[in-house]
Chain A
């Protein structure tokens, strides 16, 4: 069964887990905890997992999450997709919604792959 293409994921991840199987395969992380970043507005035709509501917004790196291929590649099973770092980014709600009605210190966190981020 090791030659069967659809068994590849199982064989590589069994006993380790996903995303643990991608550990060590990404380039060094470009951002560190506490860095200010801005979410890029990349084309997102057919598939993305970076929500529209964070595009262009500035946030702070709250955690280096793990290494994994980006969902934009993984969802189409791109074999040459290189894993990259994922970050949990913290946004201030007033930065996301022009008409945010809650207190100024409310926040939202979401996870974003490195390709979507640039220094703020």
Chain B
């Protein structure tokens, strides 16, 4: 038996690279080499995807709660209403994102109708105004069950609705993208737009929860860590 010096064993220079990463690089480099898109365009789209989030959507609904005229605009011409909270659906290509299109509709909850959105065919989501979709929204589980057992699924999110309330599932299976405009909850009288926007969580704009004074985060679910997560600087860590 020779005397193996474990302390001097050579460590890999980089963390393990997955098949997915190898293929991502191969595909991207080939596309750039063949001129299908440029490296700059790739960066441009990545930057677009990094600056979207649910803030603008929350702002839009808070404004609508405070201003009946803006609310009417949000319901009748939602694309124009989005521009007033800094979201131009024609970005970043000049004709919209290729996968989110330019057909947006805001679903107004009433005392007798509650909306919840899904994409049973894949994961269509109003990304320009609401950011990237949550992982659970893309799962076959949510997509299969929400259309057929909406009340059971909503109750798993902690949302129980009375029998008298019509639950309306909106399946975004074509070019329209949807967002829910929940009802303004009691206990928010005299609140500013900032205060109202804070309780308009992503989940409440999907329709799996209701805005509630004091609740400013989404339902806490177990987050599955990525192998190679996007760091706060935007670069892989």
Q: A-side interface residues toward B, CB under 8 Å?
A: 6, 9-10, 13-21, 49-51, 53, 65-66, 68, 71, 86, 88, 90, 93, 96-97, 100-103, 105-113
Contact B121 A65 (CB under 8 A): no
Cα distance, A10 to B94, chains bound together (Å): 8
Question: Given the complex, which residues of B lie within 8 Å of A88, measured CB to CB?
Answer: 176
A15 to B94, CA, bound (A): 5
Question: Closest residue of chain A to B151, judged by CB?
Answer: A102
CA A108 to CA B168, docked complex, whole Å: 5
**Contact partners of A111 in chain B: CB under 8 A:** 172-176
Question: Which chain B residues have a beta carbon within 8 Å of chain A's beta carbons?
Answer: 36, 89-90, 93-96, 101-103, 120-121, 147-152, 163-164, 166-176
Are the CB atoms of A17 and B89 closer together than 8 Å? yes
Inter-chain CA distance A86–B166, complex, in Å, is: 24
How distant is B171 from chain A, measured CB to nearest CB, in Å? 4
Measured between C-beta atoms, what is the minimum distance from B214 to chain A in Å? 29
Chief secondary structure at chain A's binding surface? mixed
A10, B103: Cβ atoms closer than 8 Å? no
A113 cross-chain contacts in B, Cβ below 8 A? 174
Docked Cα-Cα span, A41 to B74, in Å, equals 36
Given A65-B176, A88-B176, are A110 and B171 neighbors across the interface (CB < 8 Å)? yes
Q: How far is the CB of A103 from chain B (nearest CB, A)?
A: 5
In-complex Cβ contact of B166 among A9, A17, A101, A106 (8 A):
A106
Bound Cα distance from A13 to B164, whole angstroms: 44
Report the separation of the CA atoms of residues A51 and B93 in the bound assembly, to the nearest whole angstrom. Answer: 30
Complex Cα distance, B163 from A6, in Å, reads: 52
Looking across the interface, which residue of chain B has its beta carbon closest to that of A14? B94
Contact (Cβ within 8 A) A49 B166? no
Give min CB distance, A33 to chain B, whole Å.
Answer: 15
Decide if B103 touches A66 in the complex (CB within 8 Å).
Answer: yes
* Min CB–CB distance B92 → chain A (angstroms): 12
Prevailing SS type, chain B contact patch: loop
Report whether B96 and A18 are in contact in the complex, using a CB–CB cutoff of 8 Å: yes
Also in contact, A109 and B95, with CB within 8 A (given A15-B90, A18-B102, A66-B175): no
CA gap between A71 and B124 in the complex, in Å: 14
Answer whether A65 and B103 are a contact pair too, CB < 8 Å, given A71-B174, A109-B170: yes
Among B95, B152, B164, B176, the most chain A Cβ lie within 10 Å of the Cβ of B95
Q: Which of A6, A14, A109 contacts B169 (CB 8 A)?
A: A109
B148 touches A21 (CB 8 A): no
Residue from B95, B103, B168, B173 within 8 A of A49 (CB atoms): B173
Residue numbers in A under 8 Å from B101 (CB-CB) = 17-19
B200 to chain A, nearest CB (A): 22
**Other contacts beyond A110-B170, A110-B171: 4, CB < 8 A:** A49-B173, A51-B147, A71-B174, A101-B151
**A residues near B103, Cβ cutoff 8 Å:** 19, 65-66
Name 7 interchain pairs, CB-CB below 8 A, sorted by A: A15-B94, A18-B175, A20-B102, A51-B171, A53-B120, A65-B103, A106-B150
CB nearest to B116 among chain A residues: A108
Q: A109 to chain B: which residues have CB within 8 Å?
A: 168-171
Output the nearest chain B residue to A6 by Cβ-Cβ distance: B36
- Contact partner of B168 (CB less than 8 A), chosen from A6, A14, A100, A107, is A107
Contact of A14 among B93, B173, B175 (CB under 8 A): B93
